[in-house]
Amino acid sequence: SPRLENKVSIVTGSSSGLGRAVALRYAEEGAKVVCADLKPSARLPDLEDSNLETHELIKQNGGKATFVKTDVTSSTDWKALVEAAVKEYGRLDILVNNAGVGLEALRPPAQVHTTDEDLWDKTMLVNSKSVFLGCKYAIGQMLAQEPHSSGDRGWIINISSIMALIGGPSNPSYCASKGAVSSLTRQVALDYASSRIHVNAICPGYIQTAIFKETTARETTIEDLQRKHPFNGPGKPEDVARFAVVLASEDACWVTGTSMAVDGGYTA
Ligand code: NAD
């Protein structure tokens, strides 16, 4: 049976890559999905399974979804997003903080002595501050509503990176921004454990999204990536989405504060 039935979720960065895969998978598991992104349409539609916008595809498949235009760096947008979820579906159970700037924002690669101050600030804003804001407004709502029938008040899943666990070459701002995500995950999990809000992070290895294919092709070989991800090579968005279902389900009943590598053994 569906594992996220009667749960209302927000997924940020839902138009592309991991976020789109999470939104689709959550809907398949019975969750209502509020898709949040700068734009509803896929950023790089050529590699997508369908040209439909994520929320439209979910509806076509018989699920429940809506789209709310959101800039995750804006507290005004976050307030409106949480309000929209409550207005549309009555409550908020799950938040997936997935939106982020990854590879394309980090080109050309830079070491710390050549890293642009603006790049640093932007990366911290989009990847780290957004997670603080998301937790702030989602938890406010989770505390104000009746708990879920499981007795839990909510599930927050932050998409971090293996770069929070190891140092990746030539991307200091990205590594630091994801370190902040994993660190904040632990802290927030502690503060809201007694309120029964689960807060966990996923640290994906390399995922073969459109942007990944464009950028990594210039810098590495598929053989190198196969070697670094000994279990099956680099991942697919669905590989992360499936684990995000577990963390939002009752199967994670005793799990909080973790940053779990979902990386085909990269950090093993
Ligand atoms: P992507 O670029 O395909 O998708 C990111 C989405 O976030 C886009 O739809 C974009 O519009 C949205 N977004 C960007 N800035 C936003 C903002 N200010 N407000 C709202 N939405 C915004 O990237 P992806 O590869 O799917 O990455 C998703 C997450 O996974 C990111 O946090 C990324 O750091 C993380 N991650 C990716 C990989 C990988 O190999 N692809 C590995 C580890 C972690």
pLDDT digits over 80-113, tens only? 999 999 999 999 999 999 999 976 556 677 899 9
Mutate to test the pocket of ligand 1, among 10, 16, 34, 206 (most ligand atoms within 8 A of CB): 16
pLDDT over 70 at 215, yes or no: no
pLDDT digit string, tens, across residues 31-40: 999 999 999 9
Alpha carbons 86 and 9: distance in angstroms, whole number: 10
What would the CATH number be for the domain defined by 8-262?
Answer: 3.40.50.720
| Domain definitions of the chain by residue range | 8-262
Which helix (H) or strand (E) segment holds residue 262: the answer is: strand 259-262
Q: Which of 180, 185, 187, 188 is nearest to 200 (CA)?
A: 185
Cα Dmax for the chain = 53
Alpha carbons 254 and 247: distance in angstroms, whole number: 10
pLDDT over 60 at 41, yes or no: yes
**Ligand 1 pocket, 98 CB below 6 A?**
yes
Averaged pLDDT for residues 112-139: 96
Looking up tokens 């992360």 gives: 240
**Ligand 1 pocket, 102 CB below 6 A?**
yes
162 or 222, greater pLDDT: 162
- ipTM, 2 dp: 0.99
pLDDT exceeding 70 applies to what percent of the chain? 93
Active site residue 137: no
Averaged pLDDT for residues 24-52: 86
- Given the residues 174, 192, 206, 266, select the one marked as catalytic: 174
